Structure 1
């Protein structure tokens, strides 16, 4: 995968290539940034470059033409023996509690995900693994596998590259073992971490990697990509790019007619209307329906609710440049926004954030969502 396949992020591309050209490449880097900015795409392009794939000018860091062709053939399937992946997984069906989960348990699904493109989310990965209520983690067994794999001799005599996706999902035991790897890396081993929440990673690990912050994509970069890759007209591309707010994945979701956010909007509208009318019986039914969702979906829905609370509060300022809503969301907010005001916006946001945290800690979903619904009755009447 070449850097030209990465949307925008030109300064980061040049920085990575310059580190190699000037022989200043550290043994570990951490690409940090928000979802949809292209961190994983950058990691894959950089890994391909380090393993010998030609750049846009036809140059490769490998001098042997046969090795270059061989490397490119293997990288097209993401099955290069010097390229190792580590990522969050769930416990495979049918395995005992003694089984130590490792990335290799789902390597076939992972390769399929990468073949479909370098832009994806945890939600998409969970669907690939057919996860229900499980939360994906990187466990202790993974660090043992990495130690074994990285101790092997390089297949082509060059770099061995380990791409770790979402290292913030490592458990404590795995993180401690990874720390030892980072402290004493084998020769020409390169770690590329792709991270969204670096504050959740051990400070000792963060201090041993070179952090590279990857910013949100510009509206114009997304607009151009939508025109070139999706065939949108300029007007539609502009609106979609603005709604995306620097997130390529969000831009793609906006184009999706079966967008999950539309279902979340229906549930948000139902919650607010039932809370306003104090319909406790139907609020209980609402909470039971939501409790039937998987935990990851519940967390996504609460994140969406928090965004809608923010958008409705900002809507009261009557400045369209500050709002980022679809036509359907704005249609509802025209009449509802006045109920989200200075008297309740902070408490509503905190209530939803707490519910999201509770769900993440495996609290009873029926109790969490019914409690949220009941408290919403009180908060909505504040003025």
Structure 2
């Protein structure tokens, strides 16, 4: 991964690059943001840049021995820690999964932790960074650098560390080895120990600009710009989510049609028709209800944004815009947004989805 390959986030890239070249990059940096915002690709590009022996002001050279090793993610002074599963026949440490990890990361640098766990185990498995990992970190960092320069430790999904691991990592951060850079990546940094947060330079990675995501989708997935923009918008600048939605374009279009129907039935208090609609048109499994509610939250969010900061710039395609427009004020939008997110929360925790959605419909009538 090079800086030039990162989708958007050029302000973040510039700040990190300048920090390193000016000698102001701390020994521990925490990149905090959703997985699809590019935290891992930025870290990979930054690590390559640090290790490159012929770097320019803009990027790594791509030709030196260090860059050649990076092409295959086999640089001996760059170490990876990531969530794994504890399964028979393998020690629960990252080194046991390095072959799978390199293949996975080279193919999908914007993939999510769920994608990774599905790669090495079943979908319902839970990835964790186990306590044995911290002992290996100490051992690796105590060794002399193979190439005589820097060492880098990348901890992906750092919030997945169990308590023992986190406390051992804290001790390492308090007394870091010389010439070593730590990059911690967290989608939910609030789950990290406060003492770890206090010992890192925190870089918040915002959503990628919608136009940047749309351009990437158009170039790499051969879809027209209007559909690409719709996907980027509904994913809220999350590239990983946009790619996931690409496989559900038909479902997204169906949600647009269902949205108007659901709102109309709710406004008219057609309770029997609403119940039938929920159990026929929307019933494609629990995830389909969550997808539908998530779709509505995106539209409500758009209403909030346009109410607070109106813009003449058209974000969505004509078909999507005409389908999702709601005539509501800021207070209504905020209340509905909370209602929908609460429903998603309850369904994810096994509340009967049809009843949750029926309740949403009844509450919407009071709010609209």
Report the secondary structure of 1:381's partner residue.
helix
Q: 1:332 to 1:133 in 2, by over 3 A?
A: farther
TM-score w.r.t. structure 2 length?
A: 0.75
- Cα distance, 1:153 vs. partner? 2.9
Query: Does the aligned pair in 1 maintain the 2:282–2:289 contact within 8 Å?
Result: no
- Cα distance, 1:280 vs. partner? 4.2
Task: Give yes or no for the alignment of 1:353 onto 2:368.
Answer: no
Report Cα offsets for 1:148-193 as digits up to 9, x if no partner: 3333332222222111222233333332222112112222221112
> Which position in structure 2 is the counterpart of 1:212?
203
Task: Give yes or no for the alignment of 1:380 onto 2:368.
Answer: no
> Which position in structure 1 is the counterpart of 2:71?
76
CA distance in 2, matches of 1:299, 1:89: 27
Write the mapping of 1:26-105 to structure 2, written as runs, cut at 5 A.
26-52=26-52, 54-56=54-56, 69-92=64-87, 94=88, 101-105=92-96
Report Cα offsets for 1:190-215 as digits up to 9, x if no partner: 11122333333221111101122334
- Cα distance, 1:277 vs. partner? 3.9
Report the secondary structure of 2:129's partner residue.
coil
> Which position in structure 1 is the counterpart of 2:135?
144
CA distance in 1, matches of 2:244, 2:114: 12
Write the mapping of 1:1-383 to structure 2, written as runs, cut at 5 A.
1-52=1-52, 54-56=54-56, 69-92=64-87, 94=88, 101-218=92-209, 221-222=212-213, 246-249=237-240, 252=243, 256=246, 258-259=248-249, 262=252, 265=255, 269=259, 277-278=271-272, 279-280=274-275, 283=278, 289-291=284-286, 293=287, 303-311=294-302, 321=312, 324-325=315-316, 329-330=320-321, 332-333=323-324, 337=326, 345-358=333-346, 363=349, 365=350, 367-383=351-367
Report the secondary structure of 1:194's partner residue.
strand
- Cα distance, 1:86 vs. partner? 1.9
CA distance in 1, matches of 2:150, 2:158: 21
- Count of aligned positions: 361
Q: 1:233 to 1:307 in 2, by over 3 A?
A: closer
TM-score w.r.t. structure 1 length?
A: 0.73
Query: Does the aligned pair in 2 maintain the 1:344–1:380 contact within 8 Å?
Result: no
Q: Which runs of 5+ in 2 are unaligned?
A: none
